[in-house]
Structure 1
Amino acid sequence: MSSTPEVSVVIPTFDRPELVTRAVRSALAQTVTDIEVIVVVDGPDGATRAALAAIGDPRVRPVELPVKGGAPNARNQGVQAARAPWTALLDDDDEWLPEKLAVQLARARTATSPMPVVASRLINKTPRAQFVMPRRLPADGEPICEYLTVRRGLFHGDGFIQTSTILAPTELLRRVPFTVGLRRQQELDWTLRALAHDDVELVYAAEPLVLWHQDEDRPRISLNSPWEAQLEWLRGMRPLLTPRAYAAIVTSIISSMAAPTRSVRVFRMLLADARRHGRPSAVDYLTFLQIWLIPPQVRHTLRDRILGRRRPATAPTASAGPVPPVASGVDAAAPTPAVDRPTDVHA
């Protein structure tokens, strides 16, 4: 490995040695070989330390933090340690396909801004099916905040960005760090704050380059985040959102977190907030009502039927080469894919 690698890979983890080993090996299997893999261990963790040492590759650089600080802090610490001009983020429960970095670096060279954020499609693997996300790429002139949040269908969204798909200049990730303490919407929060800078643009690689595993038997802490905290975060993000985007988040994401309260007061408050600060569409109103009135499992079944999902006979692996055809769709377990990623299970 050269003294200055081409790409630094940052993987936050804690107490999941088998998963992080899988993620690290998918990074080491990239066709771009001049990389360093910075594994930020979020607190004392002997099992993970031993698992990383057993990999036996000098490109792996463990960074063990003295105390737990959550995934956003761990990512920030990894970026500070990065030596390459580009940094790629990888969650410890995801995998990359071998061409991921090569495709994204080529896409970055075609960008028109000096600080391109390069995302990609991914293959979402759930217990029921696997399918490609996002369903479509941003249209010319479409506000990114609306692409990532506004629904075109009652039971699904189209836009999406996820941490493990992001490649960005290391300088930009240092200029715009992840928000420490934010337990959900981390990708949306970071992307919108980064795009607020005039020299930044978001571009996509059309190929699915990441395997997003959602069938692991592990806790989903972020799914239990209090809705009040997320509404406070959203109100702070209003300057970076259009009224359409604001309303879409309130009527889908915030409502999906608040609906289990079955509170008429909360129902009315969120509807009033979406109307006061946003511009809800007919789809937003219908989404809001179905989230509050239809049990989640019934919604998931309806969504699967509408999108025509079926379980594939075989599943791709990070070493499987070309990606086989999969159904196009969005996460059946998430109310809106753009901002409901179950992240930070170790936060």
Structure 2
Amino acid sequence: MNLAWKEMKKSKTKFIILGSIVFLISLLTFIISGLANGLSQDNAALIKNLPDGEIYMEPEAKETHALSAIDGDSQEQVLSQTDGAFAFSIQMGFLLNEQDEQQSVAFVTSTDSAEFPEVSKGEIILDSSLEDEGIQQGDRFTNSQFSGEFTVAGFTGGAKYSHAPVAFIHPENYAEMHRTEQMQMLFVPESAEPVAIAGLQSFSNEAFLNTLPSYNAEQLSLSMIVWFLVIISGMLFAIFFYMMNIQKLGLYGILKAIGVKTSALFRMIWTQMFVITAIALALSIAISQLFHSLAPGGMPFYLPVGITFQLSAVFFAIGFAGATLSGIQIHKVKPLQAIQQGEGSA
């Protein structure tokens, strides 16, 4: 430990440069991760907020929920035999206000469910993001496919789908708009007793999200960037400590000759890595949270504590691996040879 601190004090500039690079990479990683999670919530909060369970669709729909139609007999059987199960449909559309201004929404309807709000005929419940845009309870909207008017009955949080606010409507109003009384999907919570549903294809919540082309492509791209940055940070540790170790082979030879164990030299490298990473991550986390509070309201940014700790653990793990790989030469070095090499370079 003393060796690690003494070297860091002696070579402040080198360690500050490394720490600055790790700080910038980790900050960029946290921000991109926050954007990825924010876009994920903005794209599919409606599904992500459901409890763990199975979503069933018609196999002929080929994993496209808009083409799925659940048979009425199968739906009735599942709903009557399974606690917490419900059928629901999602369809993209729009609402027109009294000034004929158009608002894109995702129309959602369902059978009786504790997960979705109950809506009366002619009423509509909107995602709370629309309340922030000035829409108020009691406002009226129309739709070209609906003969009547929708009255805003209230708002609910966390209801986004395909980057559009959700509009919950009554099943009969949905049937009039889309000319079908069949629901697209069945949801069976994990807490319910397993039930065999013949002729339907099942998906876990996460597997269902991966059937959405926009969600899958968006998250895959951002996840690749995050992991690429993490790998770069590990390579930086390996390269930095490798170059420093090459310069100090003579010193390591002397230390080994006077009885310092190889394990002590490794602990020195690990201590330095831990201190640099801890300081860099602390600053990155603080600034990323500040970024969250200062980011524009329309920017989807969501960085929960769990994700922050996971990324921090990954940074420590890959930093440890990089520093350890760079120290393999310390294990191999022979005292006399290293001293001679150090004298020759001098």
| Bin of the TM-score, shorter chain as denominator length | under 0.3
Q: TM-score, normalised by structure 2?
A: 0.23
Q: TM-score, normalised by structure 1?
A: 0.23
- Larger CA Rg, structure 1 vs 2: 2
Which has the bigger relative contact order, CA under 8 A and spacing at least 6? 2
More helix by share: 2
